[in-house]
Amino acid sequence: MHRGVLAFCVTISLAEIVPAEDLLLNSGLVAVSFSDFESPEQLTFRDDKNQPLVVAADQLIRYGHEPIADFASGLMMVDGSWVVGRIERIAKDQVAISGRYFRTTLSLTNVRAIALQLPTQPLARASILKTFTDADGGDDRLLSVAGDEIVGVLQFPPTIDDAPLTFGATWNLQRGERSDDVAASTLRGIVLSPLLHPIRPAETGFWFGLDDGTRLAIRSIRRTGDAIELELASGESLAFAGDWDQFSAAVQSIQPVRGATHWLSQQPALAFKQQASLSELQWPLATDSGLRGEPLSIAGYRYRHGLSMHANAQAAYRIPPDATRFQATIGLATGDDLANTAGSVVFQVLTADATKAVRTQFTSPTLRPGDAPISLDIHLGDAKLIVLMARDAGDGSSGDHAVWADARFLLGNN
């Protein structure tokens, strides 16, 4: 991660010292800091000489990295946003939450799930968050700290005036002819009925990741004096508790909701093969996550898009007709349960043209957990097929979790 100073003066205040992050554009990487949200079509950043850089939405791949925050409770909105904070009150039609940047009351119809006490263990947390996102059917679901999932119709009490984890509140769950009282303190979270609270994925705007773990699908930002109001894709509005300098400093990542980037993780592989040793299980090709379902990360930085494969493996993809370059950031997975002390991988990229002539485009040095990631930018020329390979570096494949973060094709003249 780059660090920069955005103001060079005789007197420099702490507010003027803003850390710079990598801004990933179609044209490459630039070290900048987030400055302004001009419109849903463009944003402004500032480089290390305090010069403005205006970026059109269709040129932005990502800014910074998604925050890796150990929050315990919060709300998942129907647009996929996460508002992190302490659940203060839940009623039949509203839920109140208080966090570092937001203290607000939201309509329960715009809430998909309520996290009450998430585990700190990464894989257990990832499993629960996936349940929040993927749960379907017509009933509410209660996820207990013991790992049970209870399905029924949740009867909200008239109000819970204090945090349910400490106040000992109970909820009633109707299960056909049966009625059960469930203590809130025994629950990890609640997934509200998808029929009454259906997912409405954001279609426009930007994903903003804040340093407390909050992640918002922002449609627009309105500023009146020192007040900042964020309009979410769900239709909810959130008032940010701070001024613009505090907001821009809190922003750790920005990514278009519907960018022009052609991610490999959103394209089916033409073929995939992983050659497991006799003592290991067969591993799949994972998309937008680690091999066990944990968040995708390299050297402590989290990525939203990418591929994970276990050595020895190879994945082949057809190259879109108008693709000119392949780009990715490669390294070994971090943040999972392996403690990341083992593992060594050699990455290779091969291409084949219409005559089936194969060319090796890239071979990495041996990479190990914690090594800095390597950025790839490969001109495709007349290639029709690309093959991504992860090899075990000759010392066995234990812990060889290879990550192709931000793996993408650039189209046209980008």
DSSP per-residue string spanning 187-208: EEEEE--TTTS------SSEEE
Residues 125 and 74 placed together within one structural domain of the fold: yes
Is 198 within the bounds of a domain? yes
The dihedral built from the CA positions of residue 183, 184, 190 and 195, taken in this order, carries a sign that is positive
User: 21 φ, ψ to 5°?
Assistant: -120, 170
Residues 187 and 77 placed together within one structural domain of the fold: yes
Q: Name the amino acid, one letter, at 83.
A: V
Residues 101 and 51 placed together within one structural domain of the fold: no
Rounded CA separation 178/270 (Å): 50
Residues 281 and 392 placed together within one structural domain of the fold: yes
Judge if the upstream peptide bond of residue 50 is cis by omega within 30 degrees of 0.
Answer: no
Number of domains, the chain: 3
10 Å Cβ neighbour count for 244?
A: 16
Sequence-separated contacts (24+) of 120-126 with Cβ below 8 Å: 120/70, 121/337, 122/294, 122/295, 122/335, 122/336, 122/337, 123/292, 123/293, 123/294, 123/336, 123/337, 126/289, 126/292, 126/293, 126/294, 126/295
Residues 86 and 153 placed together within one structural domain of the fold: yes
User: Residue 222: which domain range?
Assistant: 65-246
**What CATH number did the domain enclosing 329 receive?**
2.60.120.1060
Residue where one domain finishes, among candidates 185, 218, 246: 246
Is 390 within the bounds of a domain? yes
Residue where one domain finishes, among candidates 221, 246, 271: 246
Is 5 within the bounds of a domain? no
Residues 144 and 291 placed together within one structural domain of the fold: no
Q: What is the pLDDT of residue 163?
A: 44
Q: What is the pLDDT of residue 12?
A: 31
Residues 59 and 77 placed together within one structural domain of the fold: no
Here the tokens at position 369 are 């957990």
**What CATH number did the domain enclosing 39 receive?**
2.30.30
Q: What is the pLDDT of residue 158?
A: 53
What is the radius of gyration, based on Cα positions, of the chain?
A: 23
Partnered with residue 54 across adjacent β-strands are 44
Residues 118 and 79 placed together within one structural domain of the fold: yes
Is 254 within the bounds of a domain? no
Q: CA nearest 182: which of 204, 140, 154, 158?
A: 154
Helix, strand and coil in the chain, % to nearest 5: 10, 45, 45
Q: What is the pLDDT of residue 234?
A: 92
Is 201 within the bounds of a domain? yes
Residues 91 and 235 placed together within one structural domain of the fold: yes
Residues 143 and 269 placed together within one structural domain of the fold: no
Rounded CA separation 307/303 (Å): 10
Is 122 within the bounds of a domain? yes
Residues 79 and 174 placed together within one structural domain of the fold: yes
Q: What is the pLDDT of residue 305?
A: 94
Rounded CA separation 411/326 (Å): 9
Is 7 within the bounds of a domain? no
Residues 217 and 306 placed together within one structural domain of the fold: no
All residue ranges of the chain with pLDDT < 50 are 1-18, 162-167, 336-339
pTM of this prediction?
0.86
Is 2 within the bounds of a domain? no
The answer to whether 326 touches 376, Cβ cutoff 8 Å, is: yes
Rounded CA separation 172/159 (Å): 13
